[in-house]
């Protein structure tokens, strides 16, 4: 049986890696460089000039991604330790959490940082797939153990 700290660490590494890999794939499909996407993440704390930085700035973006993921994982793991229904119905909870994370990121966080961008059907499908399948469900799976 995993302790709370270990659950948070492992779920962060798994969901964070799956999520950033999907972001890299979608970035490549869009014809952009993953390094640029990572620098864009870093710009949230380093400012708009970060996008012209080097590999160190991209590393800051990657670390920021995992820090945010750790907070999202910790929230769910702690909630699941207090609300057994999240463990009992972990798959549904993971799906719901993935949708909730998508909503917070895409309806609040990203518009506050980058302004509002319209959604496309393909973009929504990609994002829901990533947030539900690669983030919400793995987090819930580790939390239930």
Distance of CA 110 to the CA centre of its chain: 12
| 1 pLDDT more than 80 | no
Backbone angles phi, psi at 33, to 5 degrees: -90, 135
For residue 145, name the pLDDT band (cuts at 50, 70, 90).
Answer: confident
Report which of 123, 19, 4 is spatially closest to residue 68, judged by C-alpha positions: 19
Note the pLDDT of residue 95. Answer: 98
pLDDT digits (tens, 9 = 90+) for 63-116: 999 999 999 999 999 999 999 999 999 999 999 999 999 999 999 988 988 888
DSSP code per residue over 27-72: HHHTT--HHHHHHHHHHHHH-GGGGG--HHHHHHHHHHHHHHHHHH
Taking the C-alpha atoms of residue 51 and residue 58, their distance in angstroms, rounded to an integer, is 9
How many other C-beta atoms lie within 10 A of the C-beta of residue 69?
Answer: 23
Count of domains forming the chain: 1
What domain range is 134 assigned to? 4-144
pTM for the structure as a whole: 0.92
Q: Is 13 exposed, middle or buried (0-12, 13-18, 19+ CB in 10 A)?
A: middle
Q: Scan for tokens 């950033």, then name that residue.
A: 20
Mean pLDDT of 16-42: 96
Distances (CA, A) of 116 to 21, 22, 27, 121, 139: 24, 22, 19, 16, 28
Phi-psi map region of 31: left, alpha, beta (phi>0 left; psi -120 to 50 alpha): left
């Amino acid at each position: 049986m995993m302790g709370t700290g270990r659950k948070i660490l492992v779920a962060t590494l798994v969901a964070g890696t799956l999520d950033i890999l999907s972001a890299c794939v979608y970035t490549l499909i869009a014809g952009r460089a993953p390094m640029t996407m990572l620098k864009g993440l870093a710009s949230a704390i380093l400012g708009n000039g970060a996008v012209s930085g080097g590999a160190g700035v991209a590393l800051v973006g990657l670390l920021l991604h995992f820090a945010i993921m750790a907070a999202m994982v910790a929230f769910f793991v702690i909630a699941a330790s207090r609300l057994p229904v999240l463990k009992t119905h972990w798959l549904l909870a993971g799906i719901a959490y993935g949708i909730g994370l998508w909503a917070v990121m895409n309806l609040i966080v990203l518009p506050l940082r980058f302004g509002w961008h319209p959604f496309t059907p393909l973009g929504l499908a990609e994002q829901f797939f990533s947030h539900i399948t690669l983030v919400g469900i793995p987090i819930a799976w580790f939390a239930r153990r």
